[in-house]
Amino acid sequence: MKFCRPAISALAVTLFSLSFSVSATADTVPAAAAPADQSQTELPLEELRNFAEAFERIRSSYVEEVDDETLFGYAINGMLTALDPHSVYLQPEDFSELRETTTGKFGGLGLEVGQQDGLVLVITPIDDTPAQKAGIKAGDLIVTLDGEAVVGMSLGEAIEKMRGEPGSPITLEIRRDNEPTLLSFTVERDEIKVRSVRSKLLSDDIGYIRITQFQEETGAELNKTLKKWQDDKAVKGVILDLRNNPGGVLDAAVDVSNAFLDNGLIVYTEGRAASSKLKFSANSDTTARDLPLIVLINGGSASASEIVAGALQDHKRAVLVGTQSFGKGSVQTVLPLANDKAIKLTTARYFTPSGRSIQAKGIEPDIWVEQSDVTPIARNRTIKEADLRGHLDNPNQDKSADQNKEISKDDSQNDTELLAKDFQLYEAHTLLKGMAILGKH
């Protein structure tokens, strides 16, 4: 199984979109793809003796009794978490949690999280979840959970503490840049149902599609929307919003890219094992081959989002607008162990078609636009020729067309309010209008 997401943990609050089929997912490779390195079959006996001695001393002398199974679990988890932020030891219950995330339904707060300086880093709050509605933002650092300090907890322990029955509250203290004191949020847990694809036809026949995370059906939902728009009316262009999208299933990232590309490489992976060297290419089954396209990205766009953005940018198929993406370019493989346990191990890096690795770097937008509100300056009423008494009529004027224009203006009022709240979307909309106009000539 392959995953492409800022890896954090498989528990309910973070919730990676992992696929448990043998097909790839944006973060993980099939379980058979990571055989042991045959060049290192000999075990280091001295280190094993040290491990056994340390294990026995902890077992016999630690201040409180800890059973053997728990100690071995700690040892495995310690090995994995020391490697990188995305390798994790999965307990049996984690599998069902991960399966739920691929279908877009799970319990928790609705946060994608990682770990930074001993604190829990918010990668992004998921749309329409308790965390997002409470005002928690990407980049926030969680300091305490119900008054208990996060420092000293493993990421899994912190996530487990954030889990709970729907309707039960939890108080988070958060450190935020440019805020002099800690911020306190009391959030009520809920069952999280994530809609992967949201769409709206904006004014000037410009389609707006937001993908919140990459799930198994994301590609099909996107293609359905694009086909409907093209069948119903001549949509002039599409804005694909991948901001604060933490990633998900690799197959979905390939399907989304293929909706706009009809040939060429989309992404490839490279690792130590031969079976981790994979390539994914577009085919001719393309829904929107020629539609003008703008992709919105920001610091919360990670993994599968970066695969899509990188592929479309390399093929010069889209203009990327926004800010630099998160920079997760590694692939994790879920490897089953005995007793329904598993490890999620980083086994490869992925690369864009031109050979770029975005690991710890991210995707740079073509047009850098910071987020802000759109604040038009109030304009004074000015006198025009049409206001002068006795002015000559325009012989080419079509009054019915003017009336239709006014109706269209009224219909687009809600779009204006949406664009006014989102400067990056406003800039993308303006740019796409220009591209559509130039495309007519």
What residues are labeled active site?
303, 314, 328
SS3 letters across the chain: CEEECCCCCCCCCCCCCCCCCCCCECCEECHHHCCCCHHHCCCCHHHHHHHHHHHHHHHHHCCCCCCHHHHHHHHHHHHHHHHCCCCEEECHHHHHHHHHHHHCEEEECCEEEEEECCEEEEEEECCCCHHHHHCCCCCCEEEEECCEECCCCCHHHHHHHHCCCCCCEEEEEEECCCCCCCEEEEEECEEEECCCEEEEEEHHHEEEEEECCECCCHHHHHHHHHHHHHHHCCCCEEEEECCCCCCEEHHHHHHHHHCCCCCCEEEEEEECCHHHCEEEECCCCCCCCCCCEEEEECCCCCCHHHHHHHHHHHCCCCEEEECCCCCCCEEEEEEECCCCCEEEEEEEEEECCCCCECCCCCCCCCEECCCCCCCCCCCCCCCCHHHCCCCCCCCCCCHHHHHHHHHHHHHCHHHHHHHHHCHHHHHHHHHHHHHHHHHCC
